[in-house]
Amino acid sequence: MLLMIDWAFVVEKLILISIILLGSLGVAMYATWGERKVAAVMQDRRGPSRAGPFGLFQPLADGLKLFMKEEIVPDSSTRFLFILGPGLAMLTASMTSAIVPWGPDYVTDSGRVIALQVADINIGILYLFGVVSLGVYGVMLGGWASNNKFSLLSSIRAASQAISYELAMGLALIALLMLTGTLSLRTIVEQQHGFWNDGYFTWNFFKQPLGFIIFFVCATAELNRAPFDLAEAESELNMGFHQEYSSMKLGFYLFSEYVNMFISSAFMATLFFGGYNFPFMDSVQAGVPQWVFVAICVGVLMAKTIGFILLFMFIRWTLPRFRYDQLMNLGWKKLIPLALINMLITGAVLLFFFNK
Amino acid sequence: MDIQQVLFWVLSALAIGCGLGVILSRNPVASVIFLILTFFMISGHYILLNAQFLAIVNIIVYAGAIMVLFLFVIMLMNLNADTEPQKSRLIQVAGAISGGTLLLVILAALRTSLYSVPLEKGATDIGLIENLGKTLFTKFVLPFEVSSVLFLSAMIGAVVIGKREPAQEDGGVGAALRQPNQN
């Protein structure tokens, strides 16, 4: 009984998982390069330019530097948790990629359907929330195990910020779920097929603009990115929860932030901006071979994702940091009521106009 | 033995192991981590029972929210091994007796379930989110709403308790507490 496993399926999924993991690591790597280039352009500098053309090898050099540096574990730290922290941060960052549908199904000549999604579970969005809520542990355990006041303060800041903004994020998504009527991301993407249908846009952004804005603000806060990067406010906390970390353990923390940014951009593209769908996709599908169509779809999703990453970067280099009370006020007193109102309006419109 | 049984035994062994870890580890932070792992194992059991919604909500609520608050409290209390108070022999005996009584009651309550029909795998869809939602909002809508009112009142109570009253800022309890520090 145990050996009755569909080996082709297992191999297919393993290949897909490896591609997604390597791909998100690659995108995260070049996001660090992109961030420095964006910052440079916005501040009228040149940015990394020495390693390779346009400084394109800079991330490789940075990675090598992090690997080569001496690894220091403070004497007074809790050794096991100190090492576990960055690992957990990286794990939770890459776990969410499992449910993103990266492209439409590919049907081989023998009739075998290859789904470009690791797992289509019928609780997709709840899974996303589960993993996001676990993301706090990497930061908290790392910050506490360092046995440093600043690290502890910063990790508590990061955790309470994440918990506060998870609420508004969930409420914003509930309004979206009332529209879609499903938690499966695959179905949500298929509902947004094309761009225009029945005299209205199909993408969820045009049905839930307020929900998207709330979701975007909360995602920025969950990522601990400026203007919500209170956890690493240099002027108050020296550096943040990863102050005691060195070498690749520090690299894991910094890197998990970029992986998170990539995945959450992919989620925003999937949930609100039609995923891999694009205008006139039906006529394109009829005109080109299947593998070209699938490649175009994956490319479209990637383009949208990179667009969101760029948006995150523009915001980081434009807006100053919030004060902590401003952050909490925005989360609890503005975003949550706004999300509740959005939910009420969505419910009322659905009930009175569409009679769902 | 099919794959479900293998998974069941592995999950059960891990759950019991982690549960023992909660009470046997000296470090309170390690206890919390073991408890989180136990929640994961229980969620694994829910998935085996085809109750995916319960599984993920268990993780979101317990592992993701409640245990984070536990960690907050433990981290801020600055517990060290040498400051841990020694429990007296009397309390240890009382704990053993009450724990044993609880075990007895649970065994007595679950004894009959040993003889009941084993759950057919895949036979139940009640744990899926659609069925659960329909049941909650039709058959059990009144208890559901009453329990949400209970939660609301608990939230309001927490806010009231946590709120600092501006009238007592100067004088009253606050001033009396501050008095020794000024000497």
- DSSP secondary structure string for all residues of B76-138: HHT--STTSPPPPHHHHHHHHHHHHHHHHHHHHHHGGGGGSPPPPTT---TTSHHHHHHHHHH
Residue with tokens 């009930």, as numbered in its chain: A351
DSSP state of A291: H
Residue with tokens 């020694």, as numbered in its chain: B86
- The 3-state DSSP class for residue A113 equals strand
- Distances in Å between the alpha carbon of A108 and those of A101, A175, A297? 18, 38, 17
Tell me what pLDDT residue A218 has: 92
Touching check for B132 and chain A: CB below 8 Å?
no
Predicted TM-score (pTM) of the model is 0.85
Tell me what pLDDT residue A240 has: 78
CB contact under 8 Å between B71 and A133, yes or no, is no
Name which of A122, A137, A163 is nearest B129 (Cβ-Cβ): A122
Confidence category of residue B100, pLDDT binned at 50, 70, 90:
very high
Confidence category of residue B174, pLDDT binned at 50, 70, 90:
very low
CB contact under 8 Å between B68 and A144, yes or no, is no
Q: Which residues of A133-154 are buried (b: 16+ CB within 10 A; e: fewer)?
A: bbbbbbbbbbbbbbebebbbbb
Q: How far is A136 from chain B (nearest CA, A)?
A: 8
Confidence category of residue B180, pLDDT binned at 50, 70, 90:
very low
Distance from chain centroid for Cα B179: 40
pLDDT for B123-166, tens place per residue?
A: 567 777 888 888 888 888 999 999 999 999 998 998 888 887 76
Angle at B73 between CA A244 and CA B42, to 5 degrees: 95
Examine the pLDDT at B175 and tell me if it is beyond 70: no
CB contact under 8 Å between B6 and A2, yes or no, is yes
Lookup: tokens for A56: 């394109």
Helix (H) or strand (E) holding A196: strand A196-197
Q: How far apart, in whole angstroms, are the C-alpha atoms of residue A117 and residue A9? A: 12
Touching check for B75 and chain A: CB below 8 Å?
yes
Q: How far is A189 from chain B (nearest CA, A)?
A: 19
Name residues of chain A where pLDDT drops below 50.
Answer: 1
Tell me what pLDDT residue B14 has: 94
**Judging by beta carbons within 10 Å of its beta carbon (0-12, 13-18, 19+), is residue A46 exposed, middle or buried?**
exposed
Tell me what pLDDT residue A112 has: 80
Work out the average pLDDT over B7-36. 90
pLDDT for B101-129, tens place per residue?
A: 999 999 888 877 766 656 565 556 777 78
- The closest alpha carbon to A180, from A208, A157, A161, belongs to A208
Tell me what pLDDT residue A247 has: 84
Could you count the other beta carbons within 10 Å of the beta carbon of residue A252? 24
Tell me what pLDDT residue A214 has: 93
- Distances in Å between the alpha carbon of B115 and those of A321, B4, B107, B110, B123? 63, 21, 13, 10, 19
- The closest alpha carbon to B52, from A144, A39, A183, belongs to A183
- The closest alpha carbon to A81, from B85, B31, B66, belongs to B31
Beta-bridge partner residues of A107: A113
Residue with tokens 């004060």, as numbered in its chain: A323
Name which of A137, A141, A183 is nearest B129 (Cβ-Cβ): A183
Tell me what pLDDT residue B1 has: 65
Q: How far apart, in whole angstroms, are the C-alpha atoms of residue A351 and residue A151? A: 49
Confidence category of residue B81, pLDDT binned at 50, 70, 90:
low
Residue with tokens 């989620």, as numbered in its chain: A267
Q: Which of A83, A96, A126 to mutate to test the interface with B (most CBs of B within 10 A)?
A: A126
Q: How far apart, in whole angstroms, are the C-alpha atoms of residue B54 and residue A263? A: 25
Q: How far apart, in whole angstroms, are the C-alpha atoms of residue A130 and residue A125? A: 9
- The 3-state DSSP class for residue B51 equals coil
Touching check for A14 and chain B: CB below 8 Å?
no
